[in-house]
Amino acid sequence: MSGGWRRLKEWNANTDRRFGYRFDDPKKTPEENIANAMKKRQNWGRPPIVVPAEDYMSFEEATRVFKKNPRRGPRNLRMLIARGLVQHCFVPDGREGVTRSSVADEIEWRRTADLWTRFKRAAGGVLHWV
């Protein structure tokens, strides 16, 4: 059973790499993986950038930071990245995540935004999703 589960996970990872959802191919160098991600996502609102390690935050860590206050936590961190509200990034060794500064900016925006601004962003999110 575990062998089948492992093969399924490997198949899923390989399929995600082929479609451009993952950029952690062990057959390529970190520089090649980062270049591939930047090429595939160059038309995003905020394409991925390379940052130093002190401004890097993993997806899991960012999700934990947002979930500290569930009322203000995102439904999906990837949607915030796709809309350009949180900056997608890589560190030179090839790890993928978001920037600490963009997460701090988003938390500050959520803390200080008025009701009308929140409504406009939510409506924009619905239109972006559609």
The string of pLDDT tens digits covering residues 64-102 is 888 875 555 556 788 888 888 899 999 998 888 999 999
Range of the domain at 102: 41-129
Which has more pLDDT, 112 or 46?
112
Assigned domain for 33 exists: no
Residue 52 lies in a domain: yes
CB 48, CB 41: distance < 8 Å: yes
Q: Tell me, yes or no, whether 17 and 61 share the same domain.
A: no
Domain count, the chain: 2
pTM: 0.73
Q: How far is CA 4 from CA 9, 10, 11, 26, 40, in A?
A: 9, 10, 10, 21, 31
Residue 109 clears pLDDT 80, i.e. is over it? yes
> Is 45 contained in some domain?
yes
Do 11 and 65 lie in one domain? The reply is no
pLDDT number for residue 32: 83
Q: Are residues 93 and 125 located together in one domain of the fold? A: yes
Local structure of 42: helix, strand or coil: coil
